[in-house]
Amino acid sequence: MKITNKLSFNFNERPKIIAEVSGNHEGSKKKFLKLIKSAFENGADIVKIQTYEPKDITLKNNNNEFYVKKGIWKNKHLWDLYSDACTPFSWHKDAFRLAKNLNKIIFSSPFSLRGVDLLEKLNVKIYKIASFEITDLKLIRYIASKKKPIILSTGMATKNEINRAIKEIRKFHKKIIIMHCVSDYPTKLVNTNLKNIKRLRKYYKNNLIGLSDHTKDITSSLVSIPLGVVAIEKHFKLNSNSKSHDSSFSITPSQLKNLRDISEQVFLSVNSKFKKTDLTNKKLRRSIFSTKKILKGELLTSQNIDTFRPKIGIDASKYFDTLGKTAKKFIKANSPIKANDII
């Protein structure tokens, strides 16, 4: 899937690293822009932000149902939570300008139609549909109508819900990357369910598959590479002292750099091809040698032959077949035994 001349997602290259800024700016525009720049400096191929303000997601309602009941955001009122974590619309233009100046790509997950409109004005190249919005067909249809590539996150989604979202997108185009995701913050390693990547690749053979990783480190991200992901998304923070709503499942610049560097090595290891130069080492295998002088007509036994390196005689795998054979000629001690030396 080609995004620009310099950025594409495919199985023949290492997975692209997506750094998700989310609410790690902690309400500071300066920190927000610094996060974007740092992400690119430390190996991110593409940076993602979130396009919403509280009114795009929830209502300012004090009913008990509008409070988070458990998890890291327990007892937080939804309106207050999203007020703290949102990226104001007024910051977006500077973010896209920064990415352009760095010759990089920034994209977003919008949570409303007006969010999509804002991103269109900024000439966004690709969209993300967040896991929690996978059932919002109104939003999905509007995003898909822009006919730009879509990354579809599938946390909590059933197969039917994924199919329904894909069906809606395919009314407009087929440029979809499906992300395995566990909507648990932070996700424990025991709950990552990375085998689901294989299932997604089996079910959706015509789509690329990626991973949206909410664990505390990069272990799951690296493990996903042999499973065939084309994209790895991690939340990103400036340092370990960050106290944002998302900091507990975000990685630092050094971790991001490690993810980028090690992912390249893992991908090369998994996808390396057999080299003809490897054949030269076959000579270091064993073959059959005489261990003492063998006279013409003498039987070959375990007392006068053995296997040694290099492979210049009969292959060591023929040892038991060679026992009991007769020497056709005199064979010197410590000499390789050739096929035409015996009958």
Digit-by-digit pLDDT tens for the chain (343 residues) are 999 988 999 999 999 999 999 999 999 999 999 999 999 999 999 999 999 999 999 999 989 999 999 888 898 999 999 999 999 999 999 999 999 999 999 999 999 999 999 999 999 999 999 999 999 999 999 999 999 999 999 999 999 999 999 999 999 999 999 999 999 999 999 999 999 999 999 999 999 999 999 999 999 999 999 999 999 999 999 999 998 989 999 999 999 999 999 999 999 999 877 666 567 788 899 999 999 999 999 999 999 999 999 999 999 999 999 999 999 999 999 999 999 999 9
Length of the chain: 343
Under CATH, which number does the domain 276-341 receive? Answer: 3.90.1210.10
Boundaries of every domain in the chain: 13-52+87-271, 276-341
Give which of 333, 294, 285, 293 is closest to 313, Cα–Cα.
285
The reported pLDDT for the residue numbered 214 is 97
The reported pLDDT for the residue numbered 134 is 98
State how far Cα 96 lies from the chain centre.
25
Backbone φ and ψ of 108, nearest 5°: -155, 165
The reported pLDDT for the residue numbered 281 is 83
Question: How far apart are alpha carbons 92 and 110 in whole angstroms?
Answer: 12
How is residue 30 annotated by DSSP?
A: H
Q: How many CB atoms lie within 10 A of CB 26?
A: 18
State how far Cα 180 lies from the chain centre.
10
The reported pLDDT for the residue numbered 282 is 86
Give which of 35, 4, 34 is closest to 22, Cα–Cα.
35
Strand-pair partners of 251: 236
How many Cα atoms occupy the beta-carbon half-sphere of 185 within 13 Å?
20
| Fold matches, 13-52+87-271 and 276-341 | no
Question: How far apart are alpha carbons 297 and 338 in whole angstroms?
Answer: 15
The reported pLDDT for the residue numbered 274 is 64
The reported pLDDT for the residue numbered 161 is 98
Would you give the end-to-end CA distance of the chain in angstroms? 63
Under CATH, which number does the domain 13-52+87-271 receive? Answer: 3.20.20.70
The token pair that represents 287 in the structure block: 């073959």
Helices (H), the chain: 29-41, 78-85, 89-101, 113-121, 137-144, 159-169, 195-203, 219-224, 253-271, 319-322
Q: Where are the beta strands (DSSP E) in 165-312?
A: 176-181, 208-213, 231-236, 250-251, 287-290, 305-308
Predicted TM-score (pTM) of the model is: 0.86
